[in-house]
Every structure is written in structure tokens, then in C-alpha cells.
Amino acid sequence: MNRFKREFLTGPYIVWIIGFIVLPILMIVYYGVTDSSNSFTLANIIAIAEPIHMKALLLSLKLALVCTVICLLLSYPLAMILNSMKFKHQNFIVFIFVLPMWMNFMLRILAWQLLLSNNGILNTVLETLHLPQFQFLNTPSAVVFGMVYDFLPFMILPLYNSMSKISADVIDAARDLGANQLQVFIKIIMPLTISGVLSGIIMVFVPALTSFVISNLLGGGKVLLIGNVIEQEFMQNMDWHMGSGLSIVLMIFVIASMAFMNSHNKDGEGTAVW
């Protein structure tokens, strides 16, 4: 294929990237640094320092962090178990974990809303078993739960991927040289999967940090994340400038966390955002 043809084929993608990624970002930046009379201002960005916005941002960071740690703790052993299975079982189990992703994530969160509500299925079952009922919905824990449920596959897949790449010979060699189970894990498996861990962390942390729908649905309007503040500025307050300013701050956090992870990720496994 000649050069011209190859460039021609990228055309649709270029149009897509300009229309739906570059232009919207430019518009956000424009709105973010102007006020309602269209003159330049940094007030919308500095507004993040207001106690209310700071509180929302810190809560978002906290919940996203907790969610990431839980996902990691759940996924790592799972990926190891998966990796030690026979080949045909592996594919089936991976399939099971990816299966829920075929369904719209909002619908799955709505289903949890029904399951967890005061008179929901879970509490009805507890009642029939004469166990105490509990109110879990509309708390920060419920929001973290929803995030973990939604983003867990994004942690499992890169971990499993990096683990399956470790050659059995490497582990056998370590054993031959007298390493015990723990030493194999710490000296061989952990360093060789670090790139998968880092990809997984980014793929869970970033969507968890920016989410607002999960906190709306499982937080009952009581858990205000920075994403909710931005949504409110756009939809209720009609202050697109403030909403954009706060979005820029959030973008900086997202990019910073990606840059941090990538600088520690020598192999360039998985995400490669830079």
C-alpha cells in the first residue's frame, strides 16, 4: 500500500479525534478560563480551593483509593489462581469475569439499588432468616462497593495478562536454586507483574476518581464527589465556566496519576497513555 492510501485510511479516525476529543477539550479549556462576560479569569480553576470543592475532591480521592486497593487485593490472588489453572479452564473463568461487562454498567448499578434498598431483596432474605436487617445503600461504602463491582475486570485482566507471560522456566529455575514459595513470590512473581499492577491501578483509579453516576445512584444524593459538583454546575446551576474550570482541575489529577504510574512502569505494558 502506498503512503497516500495509508494516510487516507486514517482520515475517519482523525475526523473522530478532532470532533469528539480535541474540540471538546479545547472548549472546556476555553470555558474554564473565561467568565460569563467572556473575559479571561483563573477564578474557576482557583475555585477548587473552596472548602466545599476541596472536601468533594478529597472524598473522591479517598473513595477512588479505597476502591483501587480493594480491587488489587481481590484481583491479585485471583489472577494467580487463574494462572495456575489448566488452559481450557482459564479461558472459561476469564470469560465469566468479562461477561458482566457485556451489560450496560448503569443497568447493573440500578440492579444493585434494587437489591440493597431497605425493602430490597437482600434485606427480605435476611428477614426470612430472622437475621438483623442492615442499611447499606446511600452510604459512601455502597458507592465504593459499586465502583469495585464495576471496575474489577479492569484490574483482573492486566494482572492475569502479565502473570501468564511469566515463563514456567523462570519459576523452576528459582526453585532449583533453592528459593522457597515465599521467595519465589517476592523475588520473581511480584517484580515481573509490577507493570500489570500499575496498568490495573490506572484503569481502576481514573474512572473511580471521575465517576459521578455511581455516587448518584448508590449514594442517594448524600455522597458528593467532585464529579457530582461538576455535573451540578453544568446541569442545575447553568454555570458552564465553573464546571469547566473544575473539570480542568480533575483532568490535571487524572493526567498526574497516569504520569506517575507510567514513570514507574519501565516495560510499557498495557495502557501506554503517553
Partner 1 sequence: MKKRLFCLTTLLFSAVCLSACGSSSNGETLTVLNYGKYFDSDALKMFEEETGITVEYEEYESPEEMYTKYKAGSIDYDLLCTSDYMIEKLIDEGEVQKMDYTKIPEYKNIDQNIIDSSASFDPDHTYTLPYFYGTVGILYNTDEVDASEVDTWNVLWDSKYEGKIIMENSVRDCFLVPLKQLGYSLNTTNPDELDEALDMLLDQKPLIYAYFVDETGDEMAAGNASLAVVYSGEAAYAQSLSDKLEYSVPKEGSNLWIDSWFIPKTCKNTENAEKFLNFLCREDIAKMNFDYVYYATPNTAVYDNLDEETKNDTTIFPDKETLDNCEVYVSLDEEGTNLYNQLWKTLKSD
Least distance to partner 1, CB of residue 235, Å: 7
Least distance to partner 1, CB of residue 137, Å: 8
CA distance 87 to 53: 49
With 0-12 CB in 10 A as exposed, 13-18 as middle and 19+ as buried, what is 234?
Answer: middle
What does each C-alpha distance from 245 to 57, 61, 236, 238, 255 come to in angstroms? 14, 18, 16, 13, 16
Least distance to partner 1, CB of residue 96, Å: 31
Instruction: Answer yes or no: are the C-beta atoms of 68 and 205 closer than 8 Å.
Output: yes
Q: Give whichever of 55 and 264 is closer to partner 1, judged by the CB atom.
A: 55
Question: Looking only at residues 155 through 214 of this chain, which bind partner 1 when binding is defined by CB under 8 A?
Answer: none
Place of cell 470555558: 31
Contact string 31-70 vs partner 1 (x = CB under 8 A): ---------------------xx-xx--x-----------
What does each C-alpha distance from 7 to 10, 16, 22, 42, 230 come to in angstroms? 5, 15, 19, 40, 38
Least distance to partner 1, CB of residue 18, Å: 22
Q: At what angle do helices 140-164 and 51-84 cross, to 10 degrees?
A: 40
Least distance to partner 1, CB of residue 106, Å: 13
Position 24 contacts partner 1 (CB under 8 A)? no
Q: Give whichever of 121 and 170 is closer to partner 1, judged by the CB atom.
A: 121
Residue whose C-alpha is closest to residue 199's, from 115, 264, 134, 114: 264
Strand extents, DSSP E, 63-206: none
Q: Give whichever of 83 and 241 is closer to partner 1, judged by the CB atom.
A: 241
Q: Determine how many CB atoms are found less than 10 A away from the CB of residue 126.
A: 13
Out of 91, 118, 164, 263, point to the residue binding partner 1 (CB under 8 A): 118
Out of 28, 72, 80, 117, point to the residue binding partner 1 (CB under 8 A): 117
Number of residues that bind partner 1 (CB under 8 A): 24
Question: Looking only at residues 216 through 235 of this chain, which bind partner 1 when binding is defined by CB under 8 A?
Answer: 220-222, 224, 228-229, 232, 235
- Which residues would be at the binding site for partner 1 (CB under 8 A)? 52-53, 55-56, 59, 117-120, 135, 137-138, 220-222, 224, 228-229, 232, 235-239
